[in-house]
Amino acid sequence: MAPVLRAHLPSIVTLVLLLSMLSLAAAGKLLVVPVDGSHWLSMREVLDRLSQKGHEVVVVAPETTLHIKPSKNFIMKRHPVPFTQEEMDLNFQAFLNVPFEEGSFLERFIKVYKGMKELSVMAIATCRHLLYNKELVRYLEESKFDALFTDPVVPCGQILAEHLSIPSVFFLRGVPCGLDLKSTQCPNPISYVPRAFTEYTDHMNFPQRVKNLLFELTNYFLCDFAFQPFTELASEFLHRDVTVPELLSQGSIWLMRLDFVLDYPRPLMPNMIFIGGVHCAHKKLPQATIPAYLESMFS
């Protein structure tokens, strides 16, 4: 048996070396283009776990942010933006206060419009300063990432994924104006799916369905000014005509932070996964708030 073992020794050594490298091969190199605010608080939990699993994580973020801070669990690459911390804080706070203010639909619509316009201006400026930062983009090109992880509510990450020719993984609660449904070709019938601000359920009578249709028309207006600048920027940067729905349709995996317990059931595509429960996991609600919330849901 000894001569036989000796004859196959090189093959055995090679096999052992390959098996020992399997754990290393499982780790990947991930580029992350996050969205600030609560979007980042949820995403950070995932990045911490990925880092613990041995993956190399590189986060690209602007110098001015609300919550995106350096961490020992990932590499942070910053880029400059043309607005101050005070300007950003004021715009975000004004927009976040709108859902808690009373008023007619028209009053709330105007406030949402103004808030989205201000945030859209900052988002497009941030994206432009990222894409045209030659030194940073060169570093990203040379780093040979395996995939890009982003929240498509701001499609800048997907523009970068297209430029780098790498697959993208989306981590989201939703995209304004139903662009997530349009991009994935999911059914979204107006007769059964209530639109924002209607406060309807999936059981509507005829007048409510008509009103739901009217509310849907506002989405086209909001989406046009909110996402048209990204359409122009993407077409300019990628040197080809492209729309935001076309960009988002290239997402490889959609990790939806939804749950049928709290959201309406709807058809999904095979690459869309409801993960639920990943909402700022390190933040805890005051104990007194939970009963009041549950009572409001079922009353």
Query: Is residue 277 a part of any domain in this protein?
Result: yes
Residues 34-76: pLDDT tens digits? 999 888 988 998 999 999 999 999 999 999 998 999 999 999 9
Other Cβ atoms closer than 10 A to 134: 8
Burial class (CB in 10 A: 0-12, 13-18, 19+), 172: buried
- How many residues are recorded in the chain? 299
Q: Given a cut of 50, is residue 279 above it in pLDDT?
A: yes
Query: Is residue 13 a part of any domain in this protein?
Result: no
Query: Is residue 2 a part of any domain in this protein?
Result: no
Query: Is residue 12 a part of any domain in this protein?
Result: no
Residues 231-258: pLDDT tens digits? 999 999 999 999 999 999 999 999 998 8
**More confident site: 232 or 100:** 232
pTM of the model: 0.79
136 is in which domain, residue-wise? 26-298
Residues 191-211: pLDDT tens digits? 888 887 778 887 899 999 999
Question: What pLDDT shows up at residue 3?
Answer: 52
CA distances to 180, 185, 203, 205, 249 from 190, rounded to whole Å, are 15, 15, 11, 12, 22
CA distances to 45, 129, 164 from 55, rounded to whole Å, are 14, 27, 19
Query: CATH code at 166?
Result: 3.40.50.2000
Question: What pLDDT shows up at residue 87?
Answer: 87
Domain tally, the chain: 1
Query: Is residue 199 a part of any domain in this protein?
Result: yes
Question: What pLDDT shows up at residue 148?
Answer: 98
Q: Given a cut of 90, is residue 166 above it in pLDDT?
A: yes
Q: Given a cut of 90, is residue 156 above it in pLDDT?
A: yes
Q: Given a cut of 60, is residue 188 above it in pLDDT?
A: yes
Query: Is residue 18 a part of any domain in this protein?
Result: no
Q: Given a cut of 90, is residue 143 above it in pLDDT?
A: yes
Query: Is residue 9 a part of any domain in this protein?
Result: no
Query: Is residue 1 a part of any domain in this protein?
Result: no
Question: What pLDDT shows up at residue 280?
Answer: 52
Instruction: Give the strand pairing for 272-274 and 253-256.
Output: parallel
